[in-house]
Chains A and B, each alone.
Chain A
Amino acid sequence: MQSDLWGHQPAAGAAEAERIDPAAAEAGVTALYQAHALGLIRLAHIMLGDRLSAEDVVQEAFCGLYRRWSHLSDTGRALQYLRTSVLNGCRSLQRRRAGPRAQPSDGQPAVSAEAAVITGEERREVMRALRRLPARQREALVLRYYLDLSAEEIAATMGIGPSSVRSAIHRALASLGRMLQEQS
Chain B
Amino acid sequence: MNTLEDKVRAALRETAGEITPLSVPPLRLHDGRGQRPRAAATRRWPAGLAPLAAAASVAIVIVVSLAISGAVHVRPGGPARGKAGPFAGVPPYYVVLAGKDPHPAVIQLQHAEIRATATGAVLARVAPPPPYNTFSAVAAGSDHTFVLAAEKWKQTRQDGGTFFRSIAYKFFLLRLGAGGHAKRLTPLPVPPEPARAEISGFALTPDGTKLAVALRGGDGGPGPEIQVFSLPAGAERVWAWPGGGPITNNAGGEGEVLSWAADGRTLAFQQWVAGNHIHLRLLDTTAPGGSLQAASRLLLAWPGDGASWHYVHGKISNVLFGFSAIITGDGSKIVAATEDLTRHPLSSELAFTEFSTATGSAVKALGRWPIPGLYPGQTQDVLWANASGSTLIVLAHVPGTPTKDPHAINSAGYRIEFGVLRGNQFTPLPGAPAPGPGAWPVW
For the complex, give the distance between the alpha carbons of A73 and B219 in Å: 33
- Decide: B18 and A146 in contact? CB cutoff 8 A: no
What CA separation (Å) do A141 and B9 show in the bound complex? 10
Q: Which residues 1-30 of B have a CB within 8 angstroms of A?
A: 1, 4-5, 7-19, 21, 23-25, 27-29
Inter-chain contact A89/B160, CB cutoff 8 Å: no
Q: What's the least CB distance linking B249 to chain A, in Å?
A: 8
For the complex of A and B, list the 5 residue pairs with the smallest distance between their C-beta atoms, beginning with the closest: A76-B160, A164-B253, A177-B305, A85-B51, A132-B376
Contact A133 B34, beta carbon cutoff 8 Å: no
Question: Total interface residues on B, using CB and 8 Å?
Answer: 95
Task: Flag whether B404 is at the interface (Cβ < 8 A).
Answer: yes
Residues of chain B contacted by A33 (CB below 8 angstroms)? 27
Q: With a CB–CB cut-off of 8 A, which chain A residues contact B248?
A: 163, 166-167
Which one of A12, A100, A138 lies within 8 Å of B402 (CB-CB)? A100
CA of A54 to CA of B408, assembled, Å = 22
A8 to B59 alpha-carbon distance, docked (Å): 9
Q: Which residues, 78 to 127 on A, are CB-close (under 8 Å) to B?
A: 80-81, 84-85, 88-89, 92, 94-96, 98-101, 107, 109-110, 112, 114, 117-118, 122-123, 126-127
Q: Which of A12, A43, A84, A100 contacts B106 (CB 8 A)?
A: A84
**Identity of the chain A residue whose Cβ is nearest the Cβ of B254 in the assembled complex:** A164
Q: Which residues of A contact B (CB under 8 A)?
A: 1-6, 8-10, 12, 14, 17, 20, 26, 29-30, 33, 37-38, 41-43, 45-46, 49, 51-56, 59-68, 71, 73-74, 76-77, 80-81, 84-85, 88-89, 92, 94-96, 98-101, 107, 109-110, 112, 114, 117-118, 122-123, 126-127, 130-138, 141-142, 145-146, 151, 155-156, 158-168, 170-171, 173-182
Cβ contact within 8 Å between A135 and B411: yes
Contact with A45, one of B19, B54, B405 (Cβ below 8 angstroms): B19
Task: From the candidates B10, B40, B162, name the one contacting A3 in the complex (CB within 8 A).
Answer: B162
Give B residues with C-beta under 8 Å from A. Answer: 1, 4-5, 7-19, 21, 23-25, 27-29, 33-38, 40, 43, 45-46, 49-54, 56-58, 60, 104-108, 155, 159-166, 198, 200, 216, 219, 248-254, 272, 276, 304-306, 319, 321, 341, 343, 346, 373-374, 376-377, 379, 402, 404-406, 408-414, 437
Contact A168 B252 (CB under 8 A): yes
Q: Are B21 and A84 in contact (CB under 8 A)?
A: no
Task: Give the total number of A-B pairs whose CB atoms are below 8 A apart.
Answer: 294
Give the CA-CA distance A183 to B404 in the complex, in Å.
Answer: 28
- State how many angstroms separate the Cβ of A97 from the closest Cβ of chain B: 8
B53 to chain A, nearest CB (A): 4
Contact across chains for A1 and B14 when beta carbons are under 8 A apart: no
On whether A135 and B163 interact (CB within 8 A), knowing A45-B16, A170-B272, the answer reads no
Report whether over half of chain A's contact residues are helix, strand or loop; otherwise say mixed.
Answer: helix
Contact of B11 with A182 in the complex, beta carbons under 8 Å: no
Contacts of B9 in A (CB 8 A): 145-146
Asked if A4 and B402 make an inter-chain contact with CB atoms under 8 angstroms apart, the answer reads no
Give 19 new A-B contacts, CB below 8 A, not counting A2-B163, A41-B19, A142-B12.
Answer: A2-B108, A20-B34, A38-B21, A41-B24, A51-B18, A56-B43, A71-B58, A89-B49, A92-B46, A101-B376, A107-B18, A109-B18, A114-B13, A118-B11, A132-B377, A146-B9, A167-B251, A173-B5, A173-B276
